Amino acid sequence: MRERTGSIEEPTENGDATARRPMVEARSVSKVFGSGDSELRALDAVSVTIREGEFFTLLGPSGCGKTTLLRMIAGFEHPSDGAILLDGADISGLPPYRRPVNTVFQSYALFPHLTVAGNIAFGLEMLGRPAAEVADTVERMLRMVRMEAMRDRLTSQISGGQQQRVALARALAPQPKVLLLDEPLSALDLKLRKEMQIELKRLQTETGITFVFVTHDQEEALTMSDRIAVMRDGQILQIGSPHEIYERPADHFVASFIGETNFLAATVETRTGERGRIRLPGGLVAETDLFESMAPGDAVAAVIRPEHLRVQPAGSGSGLAATVATIVYLGTDTQYHLRLESGEMLVARVQNGPSGSPGLADGAAVEASFAPTAVRVLRD
Amino acid sequence: MAEGTHRRFSVRRMPGFTSIAMLTFAMLYGPIVILVIYAFNAGESVALWEGFSLRWFVTAWDNTQVQEATFRSLIVAGAASLTATVLATMAALGTTRTRPYPGSLVIYALINQPLMVPEIVTAVALLIVFAMIKIATGYSGLIFLIAAHAAFCVPFAYLPIRARLEGMNLDYETAAADLYAPPWQVFRRVTLPLMAPGIVAGAMLAFVISLDDVVITEFVKSAGQDTLPTYMLGQLRRMVTPEVNAISTALLGVTVVLLTAFFVLNRQRR
Ligand SMILES: Nc1ncnc2c1ncn2[C@@H]1O[C@H](COP(=O)(O)OP(=O)(O)OP(=O)(O)O)[C@@H](O)[C@H]1O
Ligand SMILES: [Mg+2]
């Protein structure tokens, strides 16, 4: 068994999440589809611990294994190797209907032959709850998702956003220990999606239920999650709070997948304990955290976020000399594509003040400067 | 000038399209129209119009042989379509709601075998086997006819049910299992209600197919077990009166109603 967790799971900033007990644990879980030539390793020794009451997001590009991991927690797929624990107990052998876990499907999968209320009642009825309790809970759920007026409609007679709410209410009604959500917002238009993001966050806080949320939208992941696991090719690359993932990406993939970023070739100059000095193009130096393996003389990749770059007319300070290649006006921000003397390109994003964007024109000679703390190095 | 080359090809502009279509429809429905018209003939002839009357419907209605044959037809069609529908439902579930297994294609072909084997071959085979059983047991009840009809009705019931199941999103059943429904409850509460239109459609198709079967019935039936179609065939051999037209017209009416309902049900989505 490979030990992965230790190196990628950094301590969380809000000590809160780590203090709570583990709710879902994947222990070195692998999933192989097919066999022989068509063998496909959808998950490769994935280990992750999701804590009680967390809003945990699985983020990654299409085909990286997010749905597969979710379906294994729900019980629709079984691990080829490894174990899945729920609230401390190994559930690998339990069928879906014995797991206190509910799913909000991407297609919603609302039962077309039942009403809104009938859909919400389904799980409770299957659990054999008394009729009075079922009726009470259904009322409460309808109120919670603000669908009281629609209780007797068939699910084909309500809008997409309303179906989304019913799917949520149906999955929350039996009060599962964990709610799994597989890209539940991807079918909604932008405005509705923003509304539902807030709504989801509210429901999670209100119910205190552990949410495992799947998305390939990095912005959605950053705004909603307590912690994010970034996945690629069946592996988890980094686990951390949105802030950690964004500010301290572990590797090239995470850095480029989450938000925009600039990559710069750098060399390690000196090292003192965890930290060290790195030399950037144009002779600039920066102080930053280094990974264990890095020693003076090593070539490393450094990253800097576009919004951490300042753009000033040439000669005003000690920045990287560059010329403006393209200017893109984005409303709240202006984006400058800068060409360094070495030919490398940098993107800077500058917030527009009340008087509009700073008056720089294409071809202008500028300097791009940044706080020494804004630079990070990547592991690979 | 260039207009003609820009237009899309349409079979409707081919020479003779309209006349061929009209001729085809005339040949399809002309004889049936004539049959229906003469069902209302006042005279004894099926070719010479002597005025409008309902006398042949009354004659047929009062004919005890017709009554018995009709009753028998309904019993056989009812029991056979019910049996076939249950079997077909199970077959459809077994071929769509299971993991792919080796030989599933062979099973599919076997289920649809009655559609491919010439009916006369099945008829002769059944005649021989049933004769052996009848001799061995001394029993020759209607059950043989029902069993034979049920067998050839299975594929007719199977196809619409299977089509329905294949068109049904598996997510519903997955969602039900996720919401604590054990397999049996998933079937009862979700699969069955959702596939019901397919089952009803399959049952009606099987009923209609059984109702007008002649070949297999003729070979399998014991003495005095005429169904409506075999009774009519027997009548035609002796003498032809518009009574046969009247019975045919009634049968046509029932069939048209059932098949219309079948298509309506089949077109319902979800
Ligand atoms: N039942 C299956 N049989 C074979 N391969 C499968 C099966 N389910 C998933 N896969 C494969 O496993 C890989 C991971 O699939 P998965 O659905 O988990 O991706 P995902 O991260 O959810 O992607 P998306 O964002 O597109 O939903 C893919 O390459 C997929 O083709
Ligand atoms: Mg997916």
Q: What pLDDT, on the 0 to 100 scale, is given for residue A82?
A: 93
> Residue A1 — pLDDT band, cuts 50, 70, 90?
very low
Identify the three-state secondary structure at position A301: strand
User: Which domain, by its residues, includes B119?
Assistant: 63-267
Kindly state the helix (H) or strand (E) to which residue B237 belongs, with its residue range.
helix B228-238
Q: Is A40 in the pocket of ligand 1 (CB under 6 A)?
A: yes
Cβ–Cβ under 8 Å, residues A52 and A282: no
Average pLDDT per consecutive 10 residues, chain B (270 residues; last block may be shorter): 59 82 92 90 84 88 90 94 96 86 83 85 92 87 91 92 90 95 94 92 92 90 88 85 88 88 70
> Residue A19 — pLDDT band, cuts 50, 70, 90?
low
Biggest CA–CA distance in chain A, Å, is 78
For the domain that residue B249 is a member of, what is the CATH number? 1.10.3720.10
Domain contains B1: no
Question: Which of A38, A67, A97 should one mutate to test binding to chain B, selecting the residue with the greatest count of B CBs within 10 A?
Answer: A97
Domain contains B50: no
Q: What pLDDT, on the 0 to 100 scale, is given for residue A260?
A: 86
Cβ–Cβ under 8 Å, residues B235 and B113: no
- DSSP secondary structure code for residue A172 in this structure: H
Overall average pLDDT of the A153-168 stretch: 91
Q: What pLDDT, on the 0 to 100 scale, is given for residue A187?
A: 79
Overall average pLDDT of the A74-91 stretch: 93
Q: Do A170 and B194 touch (CB under 8 A)?
A: no
Taking CA atoms only, the protein residue closest to ligand 1 atom 14 is: A65
Nearest Cα neighbor of A65 from A100, A40, A93, A94 is A40
Q: Is the pLDDT of residue A177 over 90?
A: yes
Overall average pLDDT of the A18-47 stretch: 89
Q: What pLDDT, on the 0 to 100 scale, is given for residue A293?
A: 84
Domain contains B227: yes
Cβ–Cβ under 8 Å, residues A99 and A85: no
Q: Between residues A34 and A131, which one has the greater pLDDT?
A: A131
How far apart CA B124 and CA B115 sit, in angstroms, is 16
Q: Do B171 and A96 touch (CB under 8 A)?
A: no
Q: Is the pLDDT of residue A380 over 80?
A: no
Q: Is A103 in the pocket of ligand 1 (CB under 6 A)?
A: no
Q: What pLDDT, on the 0 to 100 scale, is given for residue A10?
A: 46
Q: What pLDDT, on the 0 to 100 scale, is given for residue A231?
A: 95
Question: Which chain A residues contact residue B172 at CB under 8 A?
Answer: 109, 111-112
How far apart CA A318 and CA A315 sit, in angstroms, is 8
Q: Between residues A274 and A357, which one has the greater pLDDT?
A: A274
Q: Which residue has the tokens 């239109």?
A: B197
Domain contains B170: yes
3-state secondary structure A125-139: HHCCCCHHHHHHHHH
Domain contains B37: no
Q: What pLDDT, on the 0 to 100 scale, is given for residue A3?
A: 39
What rounded mean pLDDT belongs to chain A?
87
Token representation of residue B40: 């209302």
Cβ–Cβ under 8 Å, residues A59 and A166: no
> Residue A196 — pLDDT band, cuts 50, 70, 90?
confident
Q: Do A96 and B270 touch (CB under 8 A)?
A: no
This model's pTM is above 0.90? no
Taking CA atoms only, the protein residue closest to ligand 1 atom 18 is: A65
The atom number, within ligand 1, closest to the CA of A234 reads 14
Q: Looking at the complex, does the CB of residue A33 fall below 8 Å from at least one CB of chain B?
A: no
Q: Looking at the complex, does the CB of residue B169 fall below 8 Å from at least one CB of chain A?
A: yes
DSSP states along B63-82: -HHHHHHHHHHHHHHHHHHH
DSSP states along B200-220: HHHHHHHHHHHHT--HHHHHH
Q: Do A156 and B180 touch (CB under 8 A)?
A: no
Question: Which chain B residues contact residue A105 at CB under 8 A?
Answer: 171, 174-175
Nearest by CB to B169, from A96, A102, A107: name it: A107
Q: How many domains does chain B contain in total? A: 1
> Residue A12 — pLDDT band, cuts 50, 70, 90?
very low
Residue B267: count of CB within 10 angstroms of its CB: 9
Domain contains B256: yes
Beta bridge partners of A102: A179
Nearest Cα neighbor of A326 from A375, A363, A280 is A363
Domain contains B189: yes
